[in-house]
Structure 1
Amino acid sequence: MHSTSGPALERAGDLAAILTKLEPGDVLFIDEIHRLSKTV
């Protein structure tokens, strides 16, 4: 399981870096996703 928070993802590249490291069966939890930047 991987977790992060919405405010920690400031650029689209931040999210892309996390997504490319995920393996099949992994779970990504984004806490406070409602605070995710619209540019991401």
Structure 2
Amino acid sequence: MDKLGLYQFINNWKDYITNVNEYEFKKILIRCLMNIVN
């Protein structure tokens, strides 16, 4: 995934992120990044 794709991905999650606490968001983000790398 390129930077533009990642930027769009984050934008799509903005509304959801605001409703999730920081710890849960970090777990989700790390899982997503691991999926992108693998």
What TM-score, normalized by structure 1, do the two folds share? 0.34
From the two aligned structures, give the one with the greater helix fraction. Answer: 2
More strand by share: 1
